[in-house]
Structure 1
């Protein structure tokens, strides 16, 4: 079966790549989203849920920065320099996955009080909620595009997938 580099990465080295590149970031983002909803409804900005939310945000921001750097140098640059992209859908899948660095690192910087440090807790919460939503949108676009057989959206011949 033909697949994008995104799906090739997740399918290789089972189950570790799936856990490292998909499960950990998505479970963290979903944890953040759920705790964020509870915080928004209760307006409890200092409770245990906020602590879980903050720790998870900082962890996943730093964690995904490592993934971003690793994939940039070990996948994106080599694939680009060799002209091995499997069509535009492949670029969309990998590109949207890597765009996750913006909201995830943004949440970490926000919770580390590096970004938006002079704003109120409510203003920070609004930005935080926006960023987690942005990540979930990017991740879902990457997943959907990543599952498409690249040969049905381009005139590419059958290809292998080494990532």
Structure 2
């Protein structure tokens, strides 16, 4: 969780510039990562899978968890752009945003931990 999000969550000052900055950053990150996701699917995941070049289970888990990050980031972008939860209160949107950040942290740590493992190579 970023300092800005923590400040907005704890202070509940929803009309200050920090809240707007957090919303803009959330929308940007979600859209940006959708592009990263599409590139990685086309240039990495599909060719590696088609060629059978995975070096082990930890490799697959690391890449899969990294790509799963698109779900919470897209959720943040949708919440912050008010395409979902439009009629909800600001507190509900803020709590949903924080929940998505927590999910993102979990999948990012799973990806990072499995990415650091030495993959088993086949001979």
- TM-score clears 0.5: yes
Tell me how far apart the structure 1 counterparts of residues 8 and 80 of structure 2 sit (CA, whole Å). Answer: 15
Tell me how far apart the structure 2 counterparts of residues 53 and 109 of structure 1 sit (CA, whole Å). Answer: 13
Which ranges of structure 1 fall in alignment gaps of 5 or more residues? 1-29, 158-163
Tell me how far apart the structure 2 counterparts of residues 79 and 142 of structure 1 sit (CA, whole Å). Answer: 17
* RMSD of aligned residue pairs (Cα, Å): 1.1
User: Aligned to 2:96, what secondary structure does the other structure show?
Assistant: helix
Provide the residue aligned with 2:19 in structure 1.
50
Using the size of structure 2 for normalisation, the TM-score is 0.95
Using the size of structure 1 for normalisation, the TM-score is 0.72
Provide the residue aligned with 2:69 in structure 1.
100
Length, aligned pairs only: 123
Moved over 6 A (4+): none
Between 1 and 2, higher relative CO (CA 8 Å, sep ≥ 6) is seen in: 1
Provide the residue aligned with 1:75 in structure 2.
44
Which ranges of structure 2 fall in alignment gaps of 5 or more residues? none
Match of 2:111 among 127, 133, 142: 142
1:121 corresponds to 2:90: yes
Tell me how far apart the structure 2 counterparts of residues 34 and 101 of structure 1 sit (CA, whole Å). Answer: 22
Match of 1:132 among 94, 101, 106: 101
Tell me how far apart the structure 2 counterparts of residues 103 and 34 of structure 1 sit (CA, whole Å). Answer: 18
Tell me how far apart the structure 1 counterparts of residues 66 and 49 of structure 2 sit (CA, whole Å). Answer: 16
Q: By how many angstroms is 1:156 displaced?
A: 2.5
Tell me how far apart the structure 2 counterparts of residues 101 and 115 of structure 1 sit (CA, whole Å). Answer: 16
Provide the residue aligned with 1:156 in structure 2.
122
